[in-house]
Structure 1
Amino acid sequence: MTGKVQAAGLFGWIVVVFIAAAIGAAASVQAAAFYGQLAQPAWAPPATVFGPVWTVLYACMGVAAWRVWRHGGFAAQRRALWVFLLQLALNALWSWLFFGWHQGALALLDIVLLWMLIVVTIVLFWRTSPVAGALLLPYLAWVSFAAALNYAVWQLNPQELG
């Protein structure tokens, strides 16, 4: 691949990832206010932590997908990239379930499925590019933390999170 094709690919994967982020963010417009009114465990971070953390994680996700895509394009990496796109969709859906529709149990189910697909994505990415797989490890760690937080907040707020 030429340098221009590689740069366009990187730009494309970053755009795809941040489109998913924007879809999730659309459900999170009132997230800080909603999150702030919920009973939370003592270990819950302030709402202001989530935006910067997710920005870094999404950037890493885009670079990871690009690094895999560079090895023969979508045709050669179809399975790994489709799993990546599926987990990205579940990622965006979580914000709608939790913040948009206030469905704590469904959000927890979504995040458990998301966690499993992230693990599969890491394995598939690692086979092609260990760096790409490693770029997703902080994402897995954060989603693990977010799953525990989702459960705790849902348990503490059964009326607000159905």
Structure 2
Amino acid sequence: MNQSPNIGILEKFVNVVMGVKTGNTQTFGKPAIATTEELDIKAVIVYKLGTILQIAAILLALLGMEKLVSLIDSNTSFPGWFSTLITGLFFALLSVRSRIFSLLDNTRSSRTYDQVIRPKWAPPPLAFPIVWMIIAILRVISSVLVWQQFHHQFLVLPLIVFVVHLAVGDTWNTIFTVERRLGAAVPVVILGPWLSAIVVTAIYWQTSPLAGMTLSFSCVWLTIAAALVFRIWQLNGSEPLYPLKLVPVEK
């Protein structure tokens, strides 16, 4: 069945907003496979270092925003809502493109998802960027509410934990989407994006119940996503739950 024009336009719009690349596999470089079950220690170090450096980079951005907003708030020539607008735009950038702060390859694409065996209940590829767009909006709203509760401060515990959540999510994307390490993706999605989403939501809720309720949808979606990652791992060979050494495939 041919794709309707409206669906095609929607898909292009969503992919542009969320930075999802489409195209054939040649666009993404040489594929790689695991020839042994040997732990890729270098990859583990790279993941940890990349995540830590991304967190540090975003925290520096938070510090910069705190100084900028302080200047705006102290300048009577700006309307009272202006700092809130700037803050909302900043959190929108973080929610949609936090990967710009990462040194890892965080290419968003549907390549891996299209090529692996998926359960019958798996959502279609287009559902993911649409849902993440919705979650991004909810993240902006909830984070601005928390920021307001802390009197326009950025370097506070709830927002720092939110930064960690974004960074581990980007690292998971590198592991699953870019490098297609289906085994390593299972514990990482559980201990990374899923668990951190619950922690962020709980801390946001303590700060502002409305912020916590707003962000809680992300926990529901990440629970589904974690179950999907686990099922994909089962259906595609159940490789060891750690990063295996990969060897480029010669064409």
| Same topology, TM > 0.5 | yes
TM-score range relative to shorter protein: 0.7 to 0.9
Tell me which of 215, 224, 232 is aligned to 1:136: 215
Tell me which of 118, 130, 145 is aligned to 2:197: 118
State the TM-score, normalizing by the size of structure 1.
Answer: 0.87
1:75-123 Cα distance to aligned partner (Å, 9 max, x none): 5x61111111100111122211101011122222221122221111111
Tell me which of 50, 70, 79 is aligned to 2:157: 79
Tell me which of 125, 141, 153 is aligned to 2:232: 153
User: How far is the alpha carbon of 1:160 from its aligned partner?
Assistant: 8.6
The corresponding residue for 2:85 is: 7
Q: In 1, Cα distance between the equivalents of 2:81 and 2:228?
A: 42
Classify 1:41/1:25 alpha carbon distance in 2 versus 1 (closer, same or farther; 3 Å). Answer: farther
Tell me which of 96, 113, 124 is aligned to 2:174: 96
- Structure with bigger helix share is 1
- Structure 1 gap ranges (5+): none
- Structure 2 gap ranges (5+): 1-72, 74-79, 245-251
Q: In 2, Cα distance between the equivalents of 1:35 and 1:119?
A: 25
Provide the aligned length of Structure 1 versus Structure 2.
Answer: 159
| Structure having the higher Rg | 2
- The amino acid of 1:49's aligned partner reads A
Alignment of 1:58-73 (within 5 A): 58-71=136-149, 72-73=151-152
User: How far is the alpha carbon of 1:159 from its aligned partner?
Assistant: 7.7
Contact 2:107–2:174 (8 Å) recurs in 1? yes
User: How far is the alpha carbon of 1:26 from its aligned partner?
Assistant: 4.3
Alignment of 1:5-84 (within 5 A): 5-20=83-98, 26-29=106-109, 31=110, 33-71=111-149, 72-74=151-153, 78-84=156-162
Classify 1:69/1:47 alpha carbon distance in 2 versus 1 (closer, same or farther; 3 Å). Answer: same
Q: In 1, Cα distance between the equivalents of 2:99 and 2:189?
A: 15
User: How far is the alpha carbon of 1:41 from its aligned partner?
Assistant: 0.8
Taking only the aligned residue pairs, the percentage that are identical comes to 25
Q: In 2, Cα distance between the equivalents of 1:120 and 1:160?
A: 29
Tell me which moved more, 12-21 or 91-100.
12-21
1:98-150 Cα distance to aligned partner (Å, 9 max, x none): 01011122222221122221111111111221111011111000000000000
Q: In 2, Cα distance between the equivalents of 1:21 and 1:138?
A: 22
Structure 1 segments of 4 or more deviating over 2 A? 21-29, 158-162
Q: What's the Cα RMSD here? A: 2.4
- The amino acid of 1:151's aligned partner reads F
- Structure with bigger strand share is 2
